Chains A and B, each alone.
Chain A
Amino acid sequence: MAESERFIKELMEEFENKGFMVNRRGFIEGISGIRHYFDIILEDPKSGRKIAFSLTDRIRYEHVLSILAMRIDSDTPHVIVANEVEPSIEELLRKYNVFTISFNRPKFSMLMSLPTKDIKQFTKMVTSEILRFLSTISGGSVT
């Protein structure tokens, strides 16, 4: 199993254990009618609130428009885990409830090789970051 698949599987389990409904390779139909694909769609059964999750290699300037377009049209907060995120766009995306978690952050650097034990650890850290992100937006509108 590829490392990314292992990571996604772990992440799904983490959220399932926390009571979330987890949909692997899900689509959200946007306001425009376009169906947007995400690696995972998490749904809090209590609030019915959805959050989209993607795993990608890089987030650079060229991805900003499409990420924003998906975010606005799907009307769903979005978490993206990437190997590399252009630092100057991280803050910009965050303002629109697109939360990026990158391996190039020092705290994740130890997980670059991603052995099984570390994937679990990394998954827990990502889960905790996503939950923290959710708590920052749960007070008001998710979108």
Chain B
Amino acid sequence: MSEIVKTGIEGFDEAFGGFCRGQVIMVLGNAGSGKTTFCAKFLYEGARKFKEPGVFINTIENKKEFYEYMKELGMDFESLEREGLFRYVEILTPTSKDALMNLSKELTKHAIECNAKRIVVDSITPIFMLGPSIEARAILHNALKTLVRELGAVLLITGEMPLGNERIGHGVEEFVVDGIIKLKLEVPEAGAPRRIMEVLKLRGRPLSRAFYDFEIGAPTGFKVYLSGVLEELESSINLEDRINTGVEGIDEMLGGGLVRNTSTLIVGPPGSGKTLFMLTLAAENTLKGERVAFITFEEPRQQIYATLKFLRYDPDELERKGLRVLSLNPRAITMRAFYDVVQGFSRLSEGKGSLLIVDGINSLRKEFGVNFHRVVRDLVLQAKKAEVTVIFSILKEREATSKEALTYLSTLADNIIEFRVAEKERVRREVFVLKARMSSISTEIRELELKEGRLKVR
């Protein structure tokens, strides 16, 4: 079996293990889909983590633009170049007449001179598509493979797909290369753009599923999200280690509070007290020294601070003690940003345990559409892995679509606390615990009271 070459790209190696030495991999996509960044990351991490020299042959972008852009994404190629681990080669005006000879010259020369183990040609399209026939391209691909195998390298070649075109290669490439990775940027009419990696072929490596989300941005540059499927699900649970909600009576109903590192769903109609409960939980735990982040998709931060004041907390003091309140526009949030919040937050807490409270997660349902369940699932699994206790609320509505979402989230959550509003002689807020895994819970429906700015149950 050929030697496995780890890409160093977070998520990709976990999913596929990497490439095999001697392989030629085609990275396809429309303009702006992330091909160059994927390839750059492959070279960058190869040099940085595995000390494998790399050559980037670019037919599109000049060196200065490339270095500047990659630096913004956290990849400093200049320093790698100084260390002799990287070479950037420009063939900026490939013509049909001399393009192949130029490619042969630059690839062979630089790869031999610096003993390159990773080579990128970005893009092969202008070189291969201008002149040679399909037969000639096939044998040239074979020659490339032979050369790469002899060099003991891995070659990534990028290919352009015209916008709106789903066609792969130009009739031969897909058969001769060892792997095909297709990158896509989907821009929905509403909501955040989504980047998708589709691995169509990868000789010698298992393909358990075809689609992966990925994101481009600093500091990682390029990151593939595993959606929890191939990751081993992990969490650290100690039944004795519980978090108090800070609301008198509810901890007792939960059998002594929320077990740390579990997920809790707060359900209720508008005005039932969900936000007040979650803010109380956030404030009380911040005061106890927990790391707490409160994310809302519905209210500006100032409004959250005003509500905290209403609950007789001092927002400035809470902020000083580490409470992070993030008011995010669900229309603008990307999946990456969401995950980064969880992971960044986990790093901040330095393993001391922390709480992530997300108010109004249903706002994301409108933006992420059919991907909503997956996003929440990933959020919960990532949080558990990062030892973050996650509490999220969803509005309980009467529409069927809402019920469907609720059913799914109910399965996902370890604990469910439901709030409701009863209208008899007076409006009365009620609370009950529907589910609390690993706990003996009270089955009572109790009244939630707001007295002198503080919540408690009777």
Q: Do A62 and B146 contact each other (CB < 8 Å), given the known contacts A32-B136, A72-B139? A: no
B15 interface hit (Cβ, 8 Å): no
Name, among A33, A63, A69, A92, the residue most crowded by chain B CB atoms within 10 Å (CB to CB). Answer: A69
B104 interface hit (Cβ, 8 Å): yes
When the two chains form their complex, are residues B150 and A72 in contact, meaning their CB atoms are under 8 A apart?
A: no
Q: Do A65 and B143 contact each other (CB < 8 Å), given the known contacts A60-B105, A88-B112, A89-B108? A: yes
When the two chains form their complex, are residues A61 and B143 in contact, meaning their CB atoms are under 8 A apart?
A: no
Contact pick for A62, options B105, B136, B143, CB 8 Å:
B105
B-contact bits for A79-99, CB 8 A (1 contact / 0 none):
000000000110010011000
Q: Do A61 and B105 contact each other (CB < 8 Å), given the known contacts A32-B135, A68-B147? A: yes
Q: Do A62 and B104 contact each other (CB < 8 Å), given the known contacts A68-B143, A96-B146? A: yes
- Tell me the bound Cα distance from A72 to B176 in angstroms: 13
Q: Which residue of A lies closest to B136 (CB)?
A: A34
A73 interface hit (Cβ, 8 Å): yes
A-contact bits for B136-162, CB 8 A (1 contact / 0 none):
101110111011001000000000000
Q: Do A66 and B105 contact each other (CB < 8 Å), given the known contacts A32-B135, A32-B136, A95-B150? A: no
When the two chains form their complex, are residues A68 and B146 in contact, meaning their CB atoms are under 8 A apart?
A: yes
A110 interface hit (Cβ, 8 Å): no
A64 interface hit (Cβ, 8 Å): yes
B100 interface hit (Cβ, 8 Å): yes
A: contact size bracket: 20 to 34
**Which residues of chain B come closer than 8 Å to A64, judged between CB atoms?**
104, 108, 147
When the two chains form their complex, are residues B104 and A63 in contact, meaning their CB atoms are under 8 A apart?
A: yes
Q: Which residue of A lies closest to B142 (CB)?
A: A72
Contact pick for A65, options B133, B135, B147, CB 8 Å:
B147
Q: Which residue of B lies closest to A33 (CB)?
A: B135
B438 interface hit (Cβ, 8 Å): no
Q: Which residue of B lies closest to A34 (CB)?
A: B135
- Tell me the bound Cα distance from A88 to B114 in angstroms: 12
B102 interface hit (Cβ, 8 Å): yes
B109 interface hit (Cβ, 8 Å): yes
Give the number of A-B contacts (CB < 8 Å): 68
B101 interface hit (Cβ, 8 Å): yes
Name, among A30, A70, A73, the residue most crowded by chain B CB atoms within 10 Å (CB to CB). Answer: A73
- Tell me the bound Cα distance from A29 to B147 in angstroms: 22
B258 interface hit (Cβ, 8 Å): no
B183 interface hit (Cβ, 8 Å): no
* Residues of chain A from 13 to 66 with CB closer than 8 A to chain B in the complex: 30-34, 60-66
B376 interface hit (Cβ, 8 Å): no
B-contact bits for A92-111, CB 8 A (1 contact / 0 none):
10011000000000000000
B180 interface hit (Cβ, 8 Å): no
- Tell me the bound Cα distance from A32 to B104 in angstroms: 20
Contact pick for A73, options B102, B142, B147, CB 8 Å:
B142
B85 interface hit (Cβ, 8 Å): no
- Tell me the bound Cα distance from A89 to B103 in angstroms: 15
**Which residues of chain B come closer than 8 Å to A72, judged between CB atoms?**
139, 142-143, 146
When the two chains form their complex, are residues B142 and A69 in contact, meaning their CB atoms are under 8 A apart?
A: yes
A74 to chain B, nearest CB (A): 9
Q: Which residue of B lies closest to A96 (CB)?
A: B146
* Residues of chain B from 71 to 117 with CB closer than 8 A to chain A in the complex: 100-109, 112-113
**Which residues of chain A come closer than 8 Å to B147, judged between CB atoms?**
64-65, 68, 92
- Tell me the bound Cα distance from A62 to B97 in angstroms: 13
Contact pick for B140, options A33, A65, A88, A96, CB 8 Å:
A65
- Tell me the bound Cα distance from A105 to B102 in angstroms: 26
Name, among A33, A92, A95, the residue most crowded by chain B CB atoms within 10 Å (CB to CB). Answer: A92
**Which residues of chain B come closer than 8 Å to A33, judged between CB atoms?**
135
**Which residues of chain A come closer than 8 Å to B107, judged between CB atoms?**
61, 65
**Which residues of chain A come closer than 8 Å to B150, judged between CB atoms?**
92, 95-96
**Which residues of chain B come closer than 8 Å to A89, judged between CB atoms?**
108, 112
Q: Which residue of A lies closest to B138 (CB)?
A: A32
Q: Which residue of A lies closest to B111 (CB)?
A: A61
- Tell me the bound Cα distance from A64 to B108 in angstroms: 7
- Tell me the bound Cα distance from A33 to B104 in angstroms: 23
A124 to chain B, nearest CB (A): 32
When the two chains form their complex, are residues A62 and B101 in contact, meaning their CB atoms are under 8 A apart?
A: yes
**Which residues of chain B come closer than 8 Å to A31, judged between CB atoms?**
139
When the two chains form their complex, are residues A61 and B109 in contact, meaning their CB atoms are under 8 A apart?
A: yes
A98 to chain B, nearest CB (A): 11
**Which residues of chain B come closer than 8 Å to A70, judged between CB atoms?**
139
Closest 3 CB pairs of A and B: A62-B105, A65-B104, A69-B143
Q: In the complex, given contacts A65-B101, A69-B142, A72-B142, what are 18 additional A-B residue pairs having Cβ atoms less than 8 angstroms apart?
A: A32-B136, A32-B138, A34-B133, A61-B105, A61-B107, A64-B104, A65-B100, A65-B104, A66-B100, A66-B143, A68-B146, A69-B139, A69-B143, A72-B143, A72-B146, A88-B113, A92-B147, A95-B150
- Complex A-B: 27 CB contacts under 8 Å: A32-B136, A34-B136, A60-B105, A61-B104, A61-B109, A62-B102, A62-B104, A63-B101, A63-B104, A65-B100, A65-B108, A65-B147, A66-B143, A68-B143, A69-B139, A69-B140, A69-B142, A69-B143, A72-B142, A72-B146, A73-B139, A88-B112, A88-B113, A89-B112, A92-B112, A95-B150, A96-B150
